[in-house]
Each structure stands twice: as structure tokens, then as C-alpha cells.
């Protein structure tokens, strides 16, 4: 049975004033399956083409923190999955941000997250 899910692309915006970005991950939340996870992948060459001075190790660490937040470690420990998802997709002006939230239907949210990451990020 297919169930609804929400997802957002994690975007790296190394120079906010220029508005240029690269896709660096996908965040997927499925309330019915109690599922929240992120798949991240940083294309270092693309990032450095936009901003040669970018702090690649710092950005990788920040991407890892998105995955950690999904699992409920750290500051998100007391939050429900829905609260964590909403926290992550909230608008922000930082080097990493979530794009617009989209909806879909899938039988397996984990497999759908892999499919979206391959399609939109890799």
C-alpha cells in the first residue's frame, strides 16, 4: 500500500548573496510509517566552482548534523519526527537550507529516499 510522504532537497548555498546553490541531500518524512531520514552527498567540485573559498569540511560536518537530527540525537532528542522535520525545513539564511517541501506516495519510504537522492543529488 502506498502512503503519503513529504520531502525537501537540502541545498548548499555557499554565497547567499549570489543565490547560487547545489543539491546536497534529500530529507524525507513519512508520518504513517514513522520514518524520517536524510541522504546527503556533497559534490565538492561543484561547490568549489561556485565558491572556491568554501569550507568543505565544515559543510560536510553540517550535512552530517542533518542526518543526526533525523535520528533524534543531540538537540532534537525530545522532538517527535514531525517536529524534527519541520525544524529542518524551516526557512533559514545559512549555507545549508531546505528547498520547498513536496509531497509524494510510496510503498517504501526508505527506498523512495534512495531513489530521490539518486535522481536529485548524485
- Owning domain of residue 16: 3-120
Structurally, the chain folds into a number of domains equal to: 1
Dist CA 22 CA 10 (whole Å): 9
Q: Which residue has the cell 543539491?
A: 23
**pLDDT given at position 94:** 81
**pLDDT given at position 76:** 85
Dist CA 15 CA 20 (whole Å): 7
Residue-wise pLDDT for 27-74, tens only, equals 999 999 999 999 999 999 999 999 999 999 999 999 999 999 999 888
Rounded to two decimals, the pTM is: 0.92
Amino acid at each position: 500500500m502506498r502512503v503519503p510522504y513529504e520531502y525537501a532537497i537540502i541545498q548548499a548555498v555557499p554565497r547567499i548573496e549570489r543565490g547560487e546553490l547545489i543539491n546536497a541531500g534529500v530529507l524525507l518524512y513519512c508520518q504513517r510509517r514513522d520514518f524520517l531520514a536524510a541522504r546527503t552527498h556533497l559534490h565538492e567540485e561543484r561547490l568549489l566552482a561556485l565558491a572556491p573559498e568554501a569550507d568543505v569540511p565544515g559543510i560536510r560536518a553540517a550535512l552530517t548534523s542533518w542526518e543526526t537530527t533525523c535520528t533524534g540525537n543531540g538537540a532534537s532528542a525530545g522532538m517527535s519526527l514531525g517536529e524534527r522535520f519541520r525544524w529542518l525545513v524551516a526557512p533559514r539564511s545559512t549555507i545549508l537550507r531546505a528547498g520547498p517541501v513536496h509531497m509524494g506516495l510510496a510503498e517504501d519510504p526508505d527506498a523512495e529516499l534512495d531513489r530521490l537522492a539518486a535522481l536529485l543529488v548524485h
